[in-house]
Structure 1
Amino acid sequence: MLSGRMKRGLSWLSDHASAEPTHPKGVLEMDMAENWLVRPDVLPIMKDAVELNLKQQDLSYSQELGGPPGLLQVSASFFNHFFSPQVAILPEHLVTSTGCASILETLIFSICDTGDGLLLETPMWDGFAVTSTLRNNVRICPVRYTRRPTNAAEFIQHYSEAMKNATCPIRGLIVCNPHNPLGQIYPTVWLEALLQFCETHDIHFISDEIYALSNFGATRCSQDVSNPDVVIGLETKFTSVLAIDLKRLEVDPARVHIAYSTSKDFGSSGFRLGYLITQSNPGLRRALAVLNRFKVSNISSIAVAALFSNLQTLETVLNSSKSRLRIAAETLENFLSFHQIAFYSPVAGCFMWARFGGELATKETDAELLEKFAAAGVAVAAGSKFNSGEPGWFRLTFALPWKVLIEGLRRIEIAMEAKRHWIPEKSQL
């Protein structure tokens, strides 16, 4: 027998389950948000760390609340170096857990009651709904646009309308910056306006910055502002919420929280190591530390501590990753432009939001196109997974080894029954 809450959770999951076809054997996965381009540099560091530092005592339970002290210490230095915080991050500001999803789930559990809601802009990563609803029974209240905002005032107006129309108490909002699935970055003035919006309404601000260090900047294609098929963002440089002066904005830092993980920037989603940063809310920090007490693997802690302990080496690794990501993104943009497919030009992340289905797409034609992709041996993420308001959109991962990326694009051409065949430039990856 299942509990009532589990039955409700399974019913919700069934109603919201993806309608995508099962991947046939040998499918090339371009629907997974993973950075394969950084792995050749990261893997040797992690392997050496485990081989040199794993001790018998590491096979025992981890007893520390929030994470091993050594890991928290080097992680604080990591965040201070790369995120430029206004207030220096200390180990006691951090909580570790098994990835960003786990952090978000326990954070939502800690700040929301059953039936509460969180504002979140669409399109959005489908995992946000799972982490809020499945166990916590907290609703995601979508913030939708009829047209893209061009300034902070328009941007905030959409949040005000979403909050006014909500049918449940709003306890906070989540911002995914850099954005998944758009691959674009919020202007700092927009974030400041949103922080003040939260202060006005006495709600929490949650910043998911899992792609923070995969900010590779503007691509060559984004320079052509005359191309109507390319949506160019308003910002190319990432600014963490940690770097914003909350005191100047008169925003209570106790309601500002940052989620991060090694999954994306370091291509290590299998290590399951995420962080919550909350600098002025010790009660919340302790609550999450208790909830996540036994969840972080000692092996993951050893590997990541070694990775974060040499910031100069890490600078080199990240710079190399950003360069490879930009080249891969430009390769995909070249492919999409050749086939006259509209897309959002990304400046961060490992994927692109592209309208393979065209402007006349419907839910039915999107489903048919997914079947064609599957038959051609390539998996692409449908826009319906991201609560997209418009049919035709798909998310496509480009952070793949060169031969894999090119083969995936060839299979997409087959699925599209393309009359012309794109010829890639020589590999620079």
Structure 2
Amino acid sequence: MTIKTSLSIRAQENLQGSNIMLEGVIKANANKFDLEANPNGMVNLGVAENQLMTEELRTIMRTVDTADPKLFGYGESPSGSKHLRELFADNIFNRYFNPQTLVRAEDIVLAAGCSAIVDMFTFCVCDPNDGILITTPFYGGFITDITAKSKGKVVPVHLGDMSPFDMGHIQLMQNALEKAKLEGTTIRALVLSNPHNPLGRNYSSEVLIEFLKFANKNKIHVLYDEIYALSVFDHALTGKAKEEQCVSHPFISVLSIPNLEQYCDLELIHVAYGMSKDFCLNGFRCGVLLSPWNKELVEAMRSISVFTWMASTTEAMVIKLLSDPKAIDTFTKTNQQRLAESYTYAVDLLREHKISYIPAQAGHFLWIDLRTYIPSSFVSAASAGDRAAEYLLWRNMLDEGVYVNLGEAFSESKVGFFRLSFSVPLPQLKIGMERMIKACQKTVSFVPV
């Protein structure tokens, strides 16, 4: 018996798949850039990891006694202590998301990160090979979150040249659902990131409501990923960065929409959140599922939460951070201001080099168009969907010492788009973008042998 054949079918399926996003992350983390200790290391502009609030977090976290013997044992519950769930309810959701109905601790399940939340959600609403709709481009991690363990299936809805913020794309979702059904895939849910990842923009209330109507019509769950809710920064922009903003909408949580029951069966509506983005704590692994109207789903997720139990030290430190509403206000406002400053630097440099991008208003990243740097000998193939030029450009960036995430990782059908994360200190951002531009100039002049 070989090692491969001794594995389960699902494990073998996972080994056969590739994860281009993970490949880049591993390369970037193997030789991390440090301005003083390792200036020749890899500048990571590919991961949505906010490094702009490090000192503030150090100040807060220093006050937590991580050697407190109370933290050596199991915590109160694998789905999160009541105290921490109350803090999320009162100091995050009820304070910032403007819910029409107050959120309660019992509506919440906590887990070790939002990837765990999406995996658990998939496990609870999908049988193996049932589908979840997501419009492209979308956060590439959803593929692993949905497929690797729970064996759901991501059904991408390719929009072509239509914007995901336009009402018309709802029909494309309906077409995709019906096509999947004809091919034997039952669609159980759709996932919507608001603010959008990777486009960095908010949906209008009108489009959010159309998603609800679509879900209700087809009797499928809708998971609103609102993990960047407090990272909206366009109000802090000035100058050209402010002027070039297209029609912008404020962040609108699905929880804040009046009369939700008019649009959708409330049991189908759920929200995902976490501490990785708005609070810059990717490594803490703290994810949230909020389902105010579906007690059965909450209990089903709690029944498997022992596998994603947060560490007691993580709970203690997140409790510290979320216990003071005024401190949360100060933290989020400072973070938004710094995101605006880094964003402004990034777009000024992109504009200087005539690199197209979609102006962002939220999140940690920009969606940039590098198709003008595709070598002439690759243009025809790239237009037909061949990704060789995108790989060439991406690997040249890695060779120059910068990691930027390529469009394929976000299921983008058009070749030559990349997601650039700008939420790093300005000296690091400057060096990384200079390396990226150098790689672009190197690529456009490439002549195949």
Q: With structure 2 as the length reference, what TM-score do the two structures score?
A: 0.86
| 1:186 paired residue among 183, 203, 219 | 203
The answer to which of 242-251 and 172-181 deviates more is 242-251
Aligned to 1:370: 394
CA spacing shift, 1:49–1:82, aligned 2, 3 Å? farther
Aligned to 1:427: none
| 1:408 paired residue among 432, 435, 438 | 432
- Superposed CA offset, 1:362-384 (max 9, x none): 32221111122112111111111
Matches within 5 A, 1:98-117: 98-117=112-131
* Partners of 1:173 and 1:59 in 2: CA distance: 39
Aligned to 2:304: 291
| 2:234 paired residue among 217, 224, 237 | 217
Matches within 5 A, 1:24-103: 25=31, 26-50=41-65, 55-78=68-91, 79-103=93-117
CA spacing shift, 1:31–1:178, aligned 2, 3 Å? same
The answer to which of 145-154 and 95-104 deviates more is 145-154
CA spacing shift, 1:151–1:140, aligned 2, 3 Å? closer
* Partners of 1:410 and 1:111 in 2: CA distance: 45
* Partners of 1:260 and 1:15 in 2: CA distance: 24
CA spacing shift, 1:153–1:407, aligned 2, 3 Å? closer
1:195 aligns with 2:195: no
Aligned to 1:163: 177
- How far apart are residue 151 of structure 1 and its match? 7.0
Identity %: 29
One-letter amino acid of the counterpart of residue 297, structure 2: L
SS at 2:306's partner residue?
A: coil
Aligned residue pairs: how many?
409
CA spacing shift, 1:124–1:372, aligned 2, 3 Å? same
- How far apart are residue 255 of structure 1 and its match? 1.0
- How far apart are residue 45 of structure 1 and its match? 1.1
CA spacing shift, 1:359–1:380, aligned 2, 3 Å? closer
SS at 1:214's partner residue?
A: coil
Q: Check whether the contact 1:378–1:411 (CA below 8 A) recurs between aligned residues.
A: yes
- How far apart are residue 248 of structure 1 and its match? 5.2
CA spacing shift, 1:110–1:233, aligned 2, 3 Å? farther
Q: Check whether the contact 2:241–2:344 (CA below 8 A) recurs between aligned residues.
A: no
* Partners of 2:403 and 2:337 in 1: CA distance: 25
* Partners of 2:335 and 2:23 in 1: CA distance: 33
* Partners of 2:255 and 2:333 in 1: CA distance: 21
Please tell me the root mean square deviation across aligned C-alpha atoms, in Å. 2.1
* Partners of 1:15 and 1:34 in 2: CA distance: 19
| 2:422 paired residue among 378, 398, 403 | 398
Aligned to 2:328: 314
Matches within 5 A, 1:118-157: 118-149=132-163, 153-157=167-171
One-letter amino acid of the counterpart of residue 273, structure 1: C
| 1:14 paired residue among 14, 18, 39 | 18
- Superposed CA offset, 1:19-46 (max 9, x none): 7594473111111111111222223112
Q: Check whether the contact 1:152–1:190 (CA below 8 A) recurs between aligned residues.
A: yes
Q: What residue ranges of structure 1 are gaps of 5+ in the alignment?
A: 226-231, 419-429
- How far apart are residue 73 of structure 1 and its match? 1.4
- Superposed CA offset, 1:154-180 (max 9, x none): 131121111122131111100011111
* Partners of 2:329 and 2:371 in 1: CA distance: 39
The answer to which of 89-98 and 409-418 deviates more is 409-418
SS at 2:74's partner residue?
A: coil
- How far apart are residue 250 of structure 1 and its match? 3.9
* Partners of 2:76 and 2:212 in 1: CA distance: 36
- How far apart are residue 246 of structure 1 and its match? 4.3
CA spacing shift, 1:305–1:369, aligned 2, 3 Å? same
- Superposed CA offset, 1:110-134 (max 9, x none): 0111121011011111111111111
Aligned to 1:240: 253
One-letter amino acid of the counterpart of residue 289, structure 2: L
